[in-house]
Structure 1
Amino acid sequence: MSDKSTDKATKTKLWGFGGLSSRLLMLTIIFILLGEFLIFVPSLANFRNNWLNEKLAKAQIATLVLDASPDNMVDEALEGELLSHVGAEIVALKRGEMRQLILQRPTNSRMIEASFDLRNESVMQQIMAVFDALLAPENRLIKIRGATKFDAGDFVEIVIDENTMRAAMWTYGKNIMGLSIILSIIVAAMIYMALHWLLVRPIKRITQSIVDFGQDPDQSKNMIVPSKRTDEVGIAEQQLLQMQLELQTTLKEKNRLAALGLAVSKISHDLRNMLSSTQMISDRLQNSEDPTVARLAPKMEAALDRAINFCVRTLKYGQAKEEAPQKTFFALQPLLDDVADTLSLDILKTSADENIGWDLNIDEDDLIYADRHQLFRIILNISRNAADILKNHQSANQTLPRIFICYLATQDMQYLVVADNGPGVMERAKQSLFNAFQGSMRPGGTGLGLAISQELAQAHGGDIKLIDDLQGDEPYAKLIEPKAMKGAIFLIELPNKSQTDNA
């Protein structure tokens, strides 16, 4: 029940009022209105400027009528008619040094409250004048001065009642505002639809896929289905699908490992009991008078001890978790002899009935600084892979199968080379060579040996790598013989005690 409620809440958040679509709509409306405001005010200022210039032009025509009359005089009726035509209270004209009052209403006795000169008004002054006109008190008289045409004088002046201009501005403003709102709605709808289709809709698909996949990553239906777009959105969809596939694979592997860990714990419990009984038999074999049995019995007991300890650790942690390495200096030669005995190289035969050679390039007094038990497992895993491959490989030039182990210690590092003269590592296996369950080098392998070996080497502060391209300036280069080591060449790097102490 709670899962369904959470799912519904998530979808409401994605698709509801607080989602990307509603925010995009609100931003589109705000920006369109802001743009309209930035256009509307200059447009209204331009209307005011044109309206006043038209009044000034009519006033100049009235002066021409007066100039054409006898003695520059007209009767009172004609004067009133001319002023009404101009829409002014007073008309004046300046010629040279003389300023002449052309027309005036005799009944006008109000004071002039503001004056504007259109000849040198800037854009900002025109805009400020618009707000001044709209917010000014009623019945205000203003004086307007403008340039004349046809060199009729220096300038012409009129005094008008601002109410007439304000009414015309309000009418124009309402008309242009209504038209702007209609156009804004159309433009906003087109912008919103375009952005919604190109961006918001695919982003919602991506977001919904992330949410659905996060709630149930095991279901492939929750993965995104990429569109055929080739832009950034299409790339994001492709990358999201790739990440979902990789994550699903990783989760399946983890579930598989968890199930495997439980199975290993159960097996280890029963195997420990069986190994304990086998160890008792091994103790009795040590008393045998057969020299071969007496020689192999301690090694078999050591192998049983390692197996029992590993089972105990597996049961203790519930998984194959490695303990921190207990590093000491010890002789390398006996360890390699134990590896050879564990591999049973003295009796192991190839398909051509040949023994596998064990070629050691080390000194008897060589010491190595590492955890003896973990280093034994590292070398054993790599050598076992080499032995299994050589056992089934037939050389074209009848070369005897061999496993090579070389060792070099410097002041800071220790280098162990484990190589063979087999067919080498397949190209498809190199990419996931050290990945669990993926890097098997032989048919029937689990792909765990190299993964475990690398984990143990890295726990020492070192690493394991496959040598493909030999660099001649590397310290370990002199250990490798390319003509003899034609197969896989693995390099084990472990820090020496001096480097460990410095760290």
Structure 2
Amino acid sequence: MTTPLDAASTPAVFAERTLPPVPAAEEAVVPAPAAYRLPRHLGLSGKLLAFTVAFVVLAELLIIVPSIAAYRVNWLSDRLAGARTAALVLDAAPQEMVPPELTRELLSSVGAITVALKRNDTRRLLASSDIPPEVDLHVDLRDVAPWQAVTEAVDTLFAPDGRIVRVVGTPPRLGGFVEIVIDETPLRKAMLRFTRNLVLVSLIIAALTGGLIYLGLAWMFVRPMRRLTERMVAFRLAPGAPPAALDPTTRMDEIGQAEREFMEMQRQIRETLQQKSRLAALGLAVSKINHDLRNLLASVQLLSDRLAMIEDPAVQRFAPKLEAALDRAIAYCEHTLAYGKAQEPPPERRMVALAPLIADVQDTLGLGAEDGPAIGWVEAVERGLKVDADADQLFRVLLNLCRNAMEALAARAPNDPLRDQIRVTGRREGSTVVVEVADTGPGVPETARAHLFEAFQGSARRGGTGLGLAIAAELMQAHGGEIRLVPGTIGATFQLRIPDRPVDLDAHRALRSHG
């Protein structure tokens, strides 16, 4: 008998902490769970057995009770048939010419005490014992309803011995009726014997039928459900353990579908757990690198400050851009270390001029410079267009998109600025700013489009991490906007839609009244 699992034997759940790194050359080995047995007290098979017994007993009652009632009616009808024959004999004989011995033999063969016949308006007593007894019950078989036959049969089974019954039936010819007076005790004993035999035969048939039904249902449904339940329990106890070898099911019903769906769910959850463990190790490594990188960037920032003091025109031109890039890098490192999780800080939104931001992206990538890559740059932004966004986060989104476009175009080097181009456009549509980043490269493969904005899964080039588009999608969602791949274009075209924040009318009125 199984015992409840204590807290020590239960596998630990994921804690809110950083997991230690797993060496690349080693695989995490999870011990296989011990065999688990489901409790056998009144499980699915027990309930199935109980329902089978209950329904079989109900079916037997629905068969036995009407059968007993029909047996009683037939028994009395046989006695009336004998009485009709005796009535024909006695009615054909002249008056007072039937010997008493023949009358007693006829009554004995019928099992009756008296036999009477009514024809037209005359009722004639054809045969009778010496002293006719007093009648206790009247039974009319000429018109018996089914429910009445059942109630009278039950009444006969529980009647006392020696009860006298008057039975009326159809006559031997048209018109009138024939009646007999009998002792009900032989009928009651015959019904008890019939009931006992019928119950024994019914129980044997019910046991065989119920047993076959139970075994069939247990084999077809209970056994696979128990096996599926045991797999679920084992998977719950050790979700990271290697799956046991399972025979693929060939059933096409709901149980077969449940088994296939459960096996697919196991596979997906195990892949997710493996990915989560690798991401935990990767997160620890990134945190360490980020910590040291922040210190290095701080040193580089000191050097850039000293570089800005040089009065060379080229240095004065690039020094502010270098300082801005270092400030962004240091701020991003601080945000990563502060949050310590794969979640971006809330955007600090303000109205930002879009054209200078796009120009910073171009300078960061070195596009358009004399020693830069031979990739054309086309910018078409509405004059004075401003977007309600976090400048640093929007810069990261545009930088990721433009860098992806530049890498896609660089893959078919040597490049031609007239053929290989990156186009950035911006316009306002009502309360939404629409920014599109397009290139004339090979486009996004069909295999990458299904998981394009999912981390580690949306990379369209070999060696890519698949994080750029996932980060862009997360930042756009934080702004209440969206990013999507525009279909049917040359190369790849990504569209950003950034809505303005709702205006607080009360604050606006208060500001105007204060002014």
- In the superposition, the TM-score normalised over structure 2's length comes to 0.87
Q: Give the whole-Å Cα distance in 1 for the aligned partners of 2:160 and 2:415.
A: 111
In the alignment, which residue of structure 2 is the partner of 1:123? 146
Where 1:235 maps in the other structure, the secondary structure is helix
Match of 1:476 in 2: none
What residue number does 1:406 align with? 425
Q: Distance in 2 between matches of 1:129 and 1:253?
A: 77
AA aligned opposite 2:339 = Y
> Structure 1: any 5+ residue segments left out of the alignment?
470-481
Structure 1 residue 440 displacement after superposition: 0.8
The one of 124, 127, 142 equivalent to 1:100 is 124
Greater RCO (Cα-Cα under 8 Å, separation 6 or more): 2
Residue 79 of structure 1, CA deviation? 2.5
> What secondary structure sits across from 2:457 in the alignment?
coil
Deviation at 1:437, TM superposition (A): 0.6
Partner of 1:227: 249
Q: Superposition pairs for residues 161-240 of structure 1, below 5 Å?
A: 161-222=183-244, 225-240=247-262
Alpha-carbon offset, residue 395 of structure 1:
8.3
Aligned mate of 2:352, from 320, 330, 338: 330
More helix by share: 1
Task: Tell me, yes or no, if the aligned pair for 1:421 and 1:487 is still in contact at 8 Å.
Answer: yes
When the two structures are superposed, what TM-score results if normalisation uses the length of structure 1?
Answer: 0.89
Change (3 A) 1:429 1:169: same
1:222 deviates by 5.0
**Partner of 2:491 in structure 1?**
487
What percentage of residue pairs aligned between the two structures are identical?
A: 44
Aligned 8 A contact 1:413 1:496 in 2: yes
Matched residue SS, 2:456: coil
Deviation at 1:206, TM superposition (A): 2.2
The alignment partner of 2:136 has SS state of: strand
Q: Post-superposition shift, 1:346?
A: 4.0
User: Which runs of 5 or more residues in structure 2 are unaligned?
Assistant: 11-32, 507-515
Provide the C-alpha distance between the structure 2 equivalents of 1:399 and 1:408, rounded to a whole number of angstroms. Answer: 24
Q: Is contact 1:415-1:491 (8 Å) kept?
A: yes
> In structure 1, what is the Cα distance between the partners aligned to 2:250 and 2:504?
55
1:419 corresponds, among 425, 431, 438, to 438
- In structure 2, the CA distance between the partners of 1:220 and 1:298, relative to structure 1 (3 Å rule), is same
Once residues 348 and 249 of structure 2 are traced to their aligned partners in structure 1, the CA distance between those partners, rounded to angstroms, is: 55
Matches within 5 A, 1:212-291: 212-222=234-244, 225-291=247-313
What corresponds to 1:475 in structure 2?
none
Q: Is the deviation greater in 329-338 or in 76-85?
A: 76-85
Distance (Å, rounded) in 2 between the aligned partners of 1:343 and 1:360: 14
Asked if 1:143 is matched to 2:166, the reply is yes
Offset of residue 398 of structure 1: 8.6
Give the SS at the match of 2:37.
helix
Across the two proteins, how many residue pairs are aligned to each other? 480
Query: Residues 97-127 of structure 1: CA distance to partner in whole angstroms, max 9, x if unpaired?
Result: 1111122222443x32221111110111111
The separation in 2 between residues aligned to 1:202 and 1:337, in whole angstroms, is 65
Aligned-partner SS, 1:101: strand
Instruction: Report the Cα distance in structure 2 between the residues aligned to 1:439 and 1:324, rounded to whole angstroms.
Output: 24
1:69 aligns with 2:97: no
- Assess, with a 3 A threshold, how the Cα gap between structure 1 residues 89 and 140 changes in structure 2: closer, same or farther: same
Q: What amino acid maps onto 2:359 in structure 1?
A: D
Code of the residue aligned with 1:490 in structure 2: it is F
8 A contact 2:400–2:468 mirrored in 1: yes
Q: Deviations over 1:26-52 (max 9, x none)?
A: 101110110111011111111111111
Distance 1:283 1:80 in 2: 141
Q: Aligned letter for 1:37?
A: L
For 2:70, give the aligned amino acid: N
Indicate whether 1:460 and 2:483 are aligned. no
